Amino acid sequence: MTTITLDRVPRIVQGAGALGTIGAVVADLVPSGSAVLLVADPGLRGTGMIDTARAALVQAGLGVALFEDVKSDPTMAQVDAAGEQARREKAMAVVSLGGGSALDVGKTVAAICGASPGASHYALCANAFPKSTVVNLCVPTTSGTGSETTRTAVLADAEHAKIWLWGEEIKAVIEPAEGAPEAAELEAQLRAFAEKNLASYKRPKSYDFIAEMPRDPNGKLYKRRLREPYWEGRAL
């Protein structure tokens, strides 16, 4: 089977033996000799996949720390433990190996380990993720959740309630109409409207004003081009 690489958002590598290329992929994204946190489903131990992933990372000259305390319906406490390990090891990348539970843990660790607050600090977009995120790579071993292609994670809190975390803060980008108030006044009006009419987790955290939206010749909005400036330099 031929290995296929799709440079999409996110980048996707698939094919027989693709797991063995994980070291080269990570090495292209982080400084030489960087530490990597490997978050793995312990149920994969007998398959040899954890050892294969670790060997590929080591062969690429990377240091590897393993976190296997991953269970179905992962908790914020598990993420916080993995996050602490990532900070101690000064990990520059997180590689997640397993089903949706392992991937949700790894994705969240990559997003939050650049700052000290735990996972609950970011639940339901209460606070934006830190800008100092680390490289995040997901290696799915099951199909169905699609966790490897999204910026969303689902974790259980201390009361066992499932809480969503998003990898993007809610931002409003506005092209003011002709005759609209100045940016500061317009932002104040929009914030007041959002506070009155939207739940807190649906309200934009920040407002940007641009002269013209990126559109194709037919007037359709280029959403990717609109997002690009905000995600530049962030490997998520």
pLDDT band (50, 70, 90) for residue 233: low
pLDDT over 90 at 3, yes or no: no
> In this model, does residue 151 exceed pLDDT 80?
no
Round the average pLDDT of the chain to a whole number and report it: 88
- Sign of the Cα torsion 72, 76, 81, 87 reads positive
pTM for this entry = 0.72
Residue 10 has what pLDDT? Answer: 65
pLDDT of residue 202: 81
**What is the mean pLDDT of the segment spanning 58-69?**
97
Tell which wins on pLDDT, 125 or 195. 195
Identify the pLDDT of residue 5. 66
> 61: which DSSP letter?
T
DSSP codes, 77-137:
HHHHHHHHHHHHHTEEEEEEEESHHHHHHHHHHHHHTTSS--GGGGGGGSSPPPS---EEE
- Region for residue 48 given its phi and psi (left: phi exceeds 0; alpha: psi -120 to 50; beta: otherwise): left
CB of 105 closer than 8 Å to CB of 74: yes
pLDDT of residue 200: 77
pLDDT surpassing 90 at residue 16: no
For 39, the token pair is: 């978050």
Q: Which domains does the chain have, with CATH numbers?
A: 4-166 (3.40.50.1970), 171-231 (3.30.300.30)
